[in-house]
Structure 1
Amino acid sequence: MAFQVIVYISNILGFYTYVLIARVLMSWVPDVERTSFGRILFKLTEPYLGIFRRFIPPLPLGGGYLDLSPIVGIFAWSFVQSGVVLVLQWLFL
């Protein structure tokens, strides 16, 4: 039973990783953010990614900017996911 709960929580956290990646890919196509799917992804990811945007400024590249905060956010999320799973395994297995 405990193993199933750990797998379930790990899958939920892993799904959010894919949501973050979809948000990054979506930012490359300007009009996708105006769709209902784009608004949902924005509402799901902006509270988390906004934390990193406060500390990591975008890098100027020619006529545009490169936002590195989603990359740092995805790496941080993977550490959080691994840590949560390890703590749950330690507690329940």
Structure 2
Amino acid sequence: MGLQILSVLYNLIMQGLQVYRIALVVYFLLSWLPGGYQSSLGQFLIRICEPYVGFFRRFVPPIGMISLAGLVALFSLTFVGYGVNAVFSMLFNLVRQFG
């Protein structure tokens, strides 16, 4: 029973990270389209992506006119996925051992 709950929770978190990763890529691609951020999709993506990417903008300086904060944000999300994978791997082992 505990293993099933952990498995469902793990899958939800990993799928959520994947959906957010896709949202970030679409958010970045909208910057290439004139008026892309003024669309309803653009406004929605600004609300969900800008707080996360804005955090990295404070620490990653732009190079000329190009901001690398988005790229760093995307890569860091990949590392978050690795961390989630490691934590759940340990939890799965504990449940198998003691449960």
Q: Shorter-normalised TM-score: what interval?
A: 0.7 to 0.9
TM-score (norm 1): 0.88
Instruction: State the distance in 2 between where 1:72 and 1:27 align.
Output: 17
Higher strand content, 1 or 2: 1
Per-residue deviation, 1:92:
3.0
Q: Which has the larger radius of gyration?
A: 2
Alignment partner of 1:67: what SS?
A: coil
RMSD after superposition: 1.2
Check whether the contact 1:6–1:89 (CA below 8 A) recurs between aligned residues. Answer: no
> 1:28 and 2:32 equivalent?
yes
**Which residue in 2 is equivalent to 1:82?**
82
Q: How many residues align?
A: 89
Gaps of 5+ in 1: none
After TM superposition, list the pairs within 5 Å mapping 1:1-93 onto structure 2: 1=4, 2-60=6-64, 65-93=65-93
Deviations 1:49-93 (A, max 9, x none): 001101112221xxxx11110001100010011111220221134
Q: Which amino acid aligns with 2:33?
A: V
Gaps of 5+ in 2: 94-99
Q: Which amino acid aligns with 1:70?
A: G
